[in-house]
Amino acid sequence: MNSHTQIFSQADCWLDLCIPAATALLLAAQPLAAYSLVGFWLAARLSLQCTKQPVYLILLCLALTSMGTMVLERGSAPSDPSDLLIIALAFAAGVHRPAQRWHASLSQISLCLLPIAIAACLKSPETLLQFPDINVNRLSFLLGLLISATWGLAETSNTGRSRLAWLAWMSLALPLTLLSGSRAPLALPVLAIAIAKLIAQTYPNRTHGSGLTPLPWRNSFAALTLIVVLAAGATQLWYHNASDSGINRVSDTWRAHTALCWAKQPFSQRQPWLGLGHINNIRKRCDSDRLPVMQSVIDNSTLSEQQRKIASRAAAKGLPHAHNSYVQIFAETGIAGLAAVVIAGIWIARMTQRSRLKSAIERTSKDELVRRAALPIAIYLAITGLTTSFHIFLPLNQILIGYSLAMFSATPAEQERLA
């Protein structure tokens, strides 16, 4: 191994520490420094990819020409073409990395919990966990993603001691999710992990002459029971027992009808194939004037007078985004954009199925990474997309979305490929 190769290898091992450092800077109200560091990370990762395949030079140039959009937050509006671009570039930055290096990457990414915990300790216990440059929804999405990633670390650990250590580290996120005041980071990662376990454990074992082993019904039943209990308990808590149950009912009614309204707009404007673009002109067509249910649910709720006034003003403007990633992508980019999401989903499903169908003897480090670490994250993203337009959230989250999905393209260790 020559000196240049050693330098690139060391850079690949430690570069992801930029992500928790950027998180700390963002929490400290230093967005320019934070996104400059994220921009450096993206350029450095794509530069490392250029050493393997010269075609990545095109993507590096594209990233550099778009750097101002990310670093200066020029694309921070709730509707901007840079959202999906940043996700795509982050995915390219992680494509075909060796599977054994992803454990180090996930370890470094999970360190984002540390600055969030420190920032939470410095805030008053009575206030929600939100900051000037990262609000409740953006932070809650990040917490859910970190929980899913840390679970993957525990699942891919080689020893029981390290597994317990990562589970203990993941438990640090529990009080943070409660402080965030959001329902998503508490319920959705658990749901995603349960579904991932259900999928990953029902695979054939080719080492047996009979072909398929009996499905692990106990584990499957336990996972399904957990999903049902979680859904029933969350529904009862959110809509009946919680102190803000009235707000929850109003908010979720708005979101459901707003998503349906956004989905109809490309057809009503006769632009179903290519959508209406990223100029946020859909919001004005989905306000309380065109959706009377937004105001009626306020009138029939248990909100206080002050809450009613605030809610009525918000309803008059309409929600700034669809609160459903699939609907928003369809409304802005049409059937063509939605087809791209479907193609990505099919690719992820195929990668998962390949790893799932291998016997224990045939399985490589990549298969374990896909089944145990990448799959829970992908399911978390898929579920979250039904309740929020996650892809429009801050560039740090967009980077983590694309980079995490690149795990499905990981390459097994050289000795495993030769075996």
Q: Give yes or no for residue 284 having a pLDDT over 70.
A: yes
Tokens of 399: 């980077």
Q: Band the pLDDT of 207: cuts 50, 70, 90.
A: very low
How large is the angle between the packed helices 82-94 and 395-405, nearest 10 degrees?
40
Given this model, what pLDDT does residue 334 score? 95
The values of phi and psi at residue 286, to 5°, are: -130, 40
Tokens of 411: 């390459």
Find the helix or strand (DSSP H, E) in which 413 lies: none
The structure's pTM equals 0.90
Placement of tokens 């983590």 in the chain? 400
Contact 311, 298 (CB under 8 A): yes
The neighbouring-strand residues paired with 131 are 134
Number of residues that make up the chain: 419
Q: Kindly report, residue by residue over 108-148, the tens digit of the pLDDT.
A: 999 999 999 999 988 876 666 778 888 888 898 999 999 99
Given this model, what pLDDT does residue 391 score? 61
Higher-confidence residue of 41 and 314: namely 41
Q: Kindly report, residue by residue over 299-338, the tens digit of the pLDDT.
A: 777 777 887 887 888 788 888 888 899 999 999 999 999 9
pLDDT, mean of residues 168-182: 85
Measured CA to CA, the distance from residue 255 to residue 411 in angstroms comes to 40
Given this model, what pLDDT does residue 418 score? 47
Tokens of 118: 């420190």
Q: Kindly report, residue by residue over 214-226, the tens digit of the pLDDT.
A: 445 666 677 667 6
pLDDT, mean of residues 230-258: 68
The values of phi and psi at residue 98, to 5°, are: -60, 140
Placement of tokens 């708005």 in the chain? 254
Of the candidates 101, 89, 95, the residue with the CA atom closest to the CA atom of residue 14: 101
Higher-confidence residue of 161 and 12: namely 161
Q: Give yes or no for residue 95 having a pLDDT over 80.
A: yes
Q: How many CB atoms lie within 10 A of CB 131?
A: 16
Given this model, what pLDDT does residue 213 score? 45
Given this model, what pLDDT does residue 307 score? 78
Tokens of 405: 């999905």
Q: Give yes or no for residue 208 having a pLDDT over 50.
A: no
Measured CA to CA, the distance from residue 359 to residue 206 in angstroms comes to 5
Contact 67, 38 (CB under 8 A): no
Higher-confidence residue of 2 and 62: namely 62
- Residue 101's Cα: distance from chain center in Å? 21
Of the candidates 312, 184, 319, 173, the residue with the CA atom closest to the CA atom of residue 238: 184
